[in-house]
Amino acid sequence: MAAFEAFLDDGGIVEVDDDMPAEYRQAVFAFIEMHANSELMGGLTERDWIPRTPGLRHKMSVLAKTQDEIGHGHLLYMVAADMQIKTREEMLEDLFAGKSRFHNVFHYQAVTWGDQVAIAFLVDAAALASQQAVFKNCSYGPYRRILKRIISEEGFHMRLGEDRMMRIAQGTDTQKEIFQGALDRWFWPALQLFGPDSKPDDVLLRWHIKSERNEVLRDKWVQKFVPMLQSYGFTVPAPDLSYDEEAGKWDVGPIDWEPLKRTLAQGGPDSARRINEAKDNWERTRWVRDAMDRAAAVPA
């Protein structure tokens, strides 16, 4: 392991067929599997509101965005499957059985159109910041190459969310009220997406999967979005929010990590519905996959 870690510290890139310690293989696989699951479950979260999108061309844009998310999941499952720990089907079966994780934010339900905008604006920005930090110095080559594409597309998603948020900010009282409600629901989950402070011995940092500590990324997000939201006339739902004039920094106050922990145990507000609906769809369409498997088994 020491030689492998020295290789990584020197900027070494690991490819799928290279020898790698089992611990590294497992850690990278778990990280990518969770990323893949999150892209898919994020798409399902957005799906709830796509048919209700106000506007024909607008609907095309949000469909394209969610198609990107599902496409990211598709690519990531392939990268993960190549590591030969689980097949794509096994990963999906585990996800729909509630056995594997996905990001906390997708354990919540989008209950208004404002939530859809908040997801694109706040959550995609948080996810993008995390992905950029991984891409910066990622030691696993296949993941790093896929992240390049994902990051470029996520940038468009965030800009779509920002554009829609700005329309609302310049819109009617009803629109502003709806978005403020969404902000009240999504601000903390988006912030919690970065996770608690990184542990000193975080192997993902040591093995150059992550390049930034969770608390550093979270703080950058806070410093960007708190003033931006306020400048558009919205109230940041943090009762203990304060500004340190000397440091020139915003502080959102104590963070309650219990909601994050509940989502990690599949106990979020919408975890059961989200997982059960996905499982139900998966089961109801199994006959198609079975037919395809049988067709593939027939010699050409």
Options 25, 47, 206, 279; binder of another protein; rule CB under 8 A? 47
CB of residue 43 to another protein, shortest distance in Å: 5
User: How many residues in the shown chain lie near another protein by CB under 8 A?
Assistant: 47
Per-residue contact track with another protein, 147 to 186, x per CB under 8 A?
-----------------x--xx--xx-xx--x--------
Options 24, 113, 194, 250; binder of another protein; rule CB under 8 A? 113
Q: Could you give the C-alpha distances from 271 to 77, 98, 118, 160, in angstroms and in order?
A: 21, 9, 19, 26
Options 13, 27, 63, 111; binder of another protein; rule CB under 8 A? 63
Nearest-angstrom CA–CA distance, 209 and 107: 25
CB of residue 128 to another protein, shortest distance in Å: 20
Q: Which two tokens stand for residue 51?
A: 């048919």
CB neighbourhood size of 22 (10 A): 8
Q: How far is CA 81 from the centre of its chain?
A: 19
Residue ranges in the chain assigned as alpha helix (H): 2-9, 22-47, 56-81, 88-96, 113-118, 124-136, 141-169, 173-192, 203-206, 214-231, 258-264, 271-284, 286-297
Per-residue contact track with another protein, 225 to 264, x per CB under 8 A?
----------------------------------------
Q: Does 273 bind another protein (CB under 8 A)?
A: no
CB of residue 29 to another protein, shortest distance in Å: 18
* Closer Cβ to another protein, 51 or 200, answer by number: 51
For residues 95 and 40, is the Cβ–Cβ distance under 8 A?
yes
Q: Which two tokens stand for residue 17?
A: 């067929």
CB of residue 135 to another protein, shortest distance in Å: 23
8-state DSSP, 14: B
Nearest-angstrom CA–CA distance, 76 and 81: 8
Q: Does 297 bind another protein (CB under 8 A)?
A: no
Options 21, 71, 155, 181; binder of another protein; rule CB under 8 A? 71
Q: Does 50 bind another protein (CB under 8 A)?
A: yes
Q: Does 60 bind another protein (CB under 8 A)?
A: yes
Taken in order 170, 174, 180, 185, is the CA torsion positive or negative?
negative
Q: Does 3 bind another protein (CB under 8 A)?
A: no
Buried b (16+ CB within 10 A) or exposed e, 128-164: bbbbbbbbeebbbebbbebbeebeebbeebbebbbeb
Contacts to another protein by CB under 8 A: 40, 43-44, 47, 50-60, 63-64, 66-67, 70-71, 73-74, 77, 113, 164, 167-168, 171-172, 174-175, 178, 278, 281, 284-292, 294-295, 298
